[in-house]
Amino acid sequence: MTTAEKSTAIIAAVNEYAAIYAAVKAPATPATFNDPIVQGMLKGFTEKIAAIIRDA
């Protein structure tokens, strides 16, 4: 994967994470679920970015 392709993939991952994060933080989601969900999302996001960088 070229640097440009990696950049595009990382931007897409950031946008995806932002959209999901906004949905989770929406008023309809009970506050007690926010932290565990966001922590799980952050772990998945970090792993996704690492995979892009490693070309995995």
**Global confidence as pTM:** 0.71
Q: Cβ(41)–Cβ(21) under 8 Å?
A: yes
| Residue pLDDT, tens place only, 1-25 | 899 999 999 999 999 988 887 877 7
Q: Which sign does the torsion angle of CA 36, 32, 14, 16 carry?
A: positive
Q: Which sign does the torsion angle of CA 14, 15, 17, 22 carry?
A: positive
pLDDT at position 56, please? 67
Distances (CA, A) of 7 to 23, 45, 49: 24, 15, 10
Q: Which amino acid is at 50?
A: A
Of residues 24, 42, 20, the one with CA closest to residue 50? 42
| Residue pLDDT, tens place only, 33-43 | 667 877 888 89
pLDDT at position 8, please? 94
